[in-house]
Chains A and B, each alone.
Chain A
Amino acid sequence: MIPLIALVVGAVLGLVLQPAVPPFLAPYLPVAVVAALDAVFGGVRARLDGTFSDRRFLISFLTNVVLAVFLVFLGDQLGVGSELSTAVVVVLGVRIFSNLAAVRRHLFRA
């Protein structure tokens, strides 16, 4: 419950503060968001599995974001930034999808 409230608070904060994304962060923010989403859905799934751990979630959250951003950054340096960011988003998307499928199995027993 608390994480959900925090999510809403963060979203409201973003709406109220209207942060401007600095140009150098613009290519990395989408992947960072998708990676964080992946971590959160993974957390939801673990919660339903009964295996949720704060520490694990935090580490997964941080490493996911940092790794995804680092990969895209590396891709930018190698000249394949857009391709690599697509790859990262695809992989993370598939993981999000499978996590959601697991959540679905828990909720609907199907």
Chain B
Amino acid sequence: MNRLQRRARHAMRSAPRRSMGSGMVSTLEGESGRSGTPGGPDDVGAHPPDRRRPLTQVAVAIACALLGFLLVAQVRASESVGERLAAEREEDLAVVLADVTEQSDRLQAEITDLRLLLFEFESTAESEELAFRNLQKRLDDLRILAGVVPAENEGVVLQVADPGRQVTHEDLVDIVHEMRNAGAEAIAVNGQRLVASSAFSTRNARLVLDGQPLEEPYRVAAVGPSEKLITSGLSIPGGALDRLGSYSDVTTSVEELEHVTIPARGEPVPFVYGEPVPADADSG
């Protein structure tokens, strides 16, 4: 069968279809015959069915597979919420909308509540951190006061050379008090830390601090505002330095230092009798 014969046959076949004319179905058939369906008269002859190229056969197979794939995808997609909603009636949709709006309001309120809660927690955490820092600072202060940790900063060092053993323990108490009065925060005498319970005494004509004999020369070191320790502490008129100066062979020297380190007390002082008053007792 050659090309011309084919053409002729197709012309004959399609002629009556066109002439049928007025009916709607037949018009549409004509439409699909021309654009939708393959095999229009003018191109069939190019590739007769029995000599199809494998490449286009593969392409046809791919197109069919694509259709199957898309079909399934679309069927699955139309099972989703949005597609189902599109099929609902208006009254049903109104009900659904009301439900969803209510749910949205509720969730919005929940968001607000949770945000408030979060804010509360955050501020609590902040104030707790502040309280923790305050407590830490207080703990540090108390440790320095109790002498359980070394303390360091600017301060003064007072050297008292007393070969004739003329200095009394009252003189040392005066020196320490004047320093504390001027703002000394940590004091050591001959490397021995002074704490709240420290006491000077005299035993066998030798000065003793907390049971430890003190060797001459005495070295009193203090951490505190160094300038103030001297001007309004040690060297006030009629103060300890004046009195030490009145002894015949006592020599003193005061050093103002950028950095003084006061050692910790070897062992903390055990408290036997003192018991803390419960916190709620003094407030009520």
A98 adjacent to B64 (CB under 8 Å): no
A3 adjacent to B60 (CB under 8 Å): yes
List, sorted by A's number, 7 A–B pairs whose CB atoms are closer than 8 Å.
A32-B70, A33-B70, A38-B32, A40-B63, A42-B38, A58-B63, A98-B25
A55 adjacent to B46 (CB under 8 Å): yes
B43 adjacent to A56 (CB under 8 Å): yes
B-chain residues with CB within 8 Å of residue A50 when the two chains form the complex = 49
- Other A-B contacts than A39-B63, A53-B47, 10 sampled, CB-CB below 8 A, are A6-B64, A10-B65, A11-B68, A11-B72, A14-B69, A26-B83, A58-B63, A60-B37, A64-B36, A95-B31
Q: How many residues of B contact A (CB 8 A)?
A: 42
**B53 part of interface (Cβ distance < 8 Å):** yes
A40 adjacent to B73 (CB under 8 Å): no
Q: What does the 1/0 interface line of A78-109 toward B look like (CB < 8 Å)?
A: 00000000000000001100110110000000
Within 8 A of B (CB), among A13-34: 13-15, 18-21, 26, 29-30, 32-33
Which residues of chain B have a CB within 8 Å of any CB of chain A? 10, 25, 28-29, 31-32, 35-40, 43-44, 46-47, 49, 52-53, 56-57, 59-74, 76-78, 82-83
B-chain residues with CB within 8 Å of residue A10 when the two chains form the complex = 64-72
Cα(A18)–Cα(B74), bound, Å = 10
Knowing A54-B56, A55-B46 touch, does A43 contact B37 (C-beta < 8 A)?
A: yes
A94 adjacent to B28 (CB under 8 Å): yes
B-chain residues with CB within 8 Å of residue A12 when the two chains form the complex = 68
Cα(A3)–Cα(B40), bound, Å = 20
A-chain residues with CB within 8 Å of residue B25 when the two chains form the complex = 98, 101
B65 adjacent to A6 (CB under 8 Å): yes
Knowing A53-B46, A95-B31 touch, does A29 contact B38 (C-beta < 8 A)?
A: no
Query: Which residue of A14, A40, A53, A62 contacts B72 across the interface (Cβ within 8 Å)?
Result: A14
A57 adjacent to B38 (CB under 8 Å): yes
B-chain residues with CB within 8 Å of residue A3 when the two chains form the complex = 60-61, 63-64
Cα(A94)–Cα(B32), bound, Å = 10
A-chain residues with CB within 8 Å of residue B29 when the two chains form the complex = 98, 101-102
Query: Which residue of A5, A13, A37, A42 contacts B37 across the interface (Cβ within 8 Å)?
Result: A42
Cα(A4)–Cα(B66), bound, Å = 12
Query: Which residue of B32, B61, B67 contacts A33 across the interface (Cβ within 8 Å)?
Result: B67
Q: B93 → chain A, closest Cβ, in Å?
A: 15
Which of A8, A11, A30 has its CB near the most chain B CB atoms (within 10 A)? A11
Cα(A32)–Cα(B73), bound, Å = 12
Cα(A101)–Cα(B37), bound, Å = 13
A-chain residues with CB within 8 Å of residue B77 when the two chains form the complex = 20-21, 26, 29
Knowing A21-B73, A33-B70, A45-B37 touch, does A58 contact B65 (C-beta < 8 A)?
A: no
A-chain residues with CB within 8 Å of residue B47 when the two chains form the complex = 53-55
A54 adjacent to B71 (CB under 8 Å): no
A46 adjacent to B37 (CB under 8 Å): yes
A53 adjacent to B39 (CB under 8 Å): yes
**A77 part of interface (Cβ distance < 8 Å):** no
B-chain residues with CB within 8 Å of residue A5 when the two chains form the complex = 61
A58 adjacent to B59 (CB under 8 Å): yes
B43 adjacent to A36 (CB under 8 Å): no
B-chain residues with CB within 8 Å of residue A102 when the two chains form the complex = 29
Q: Return the chain A residue nearest B83 by Cβ.
A: A26
B37 adjacent to A29 (CB under 8 Å): no
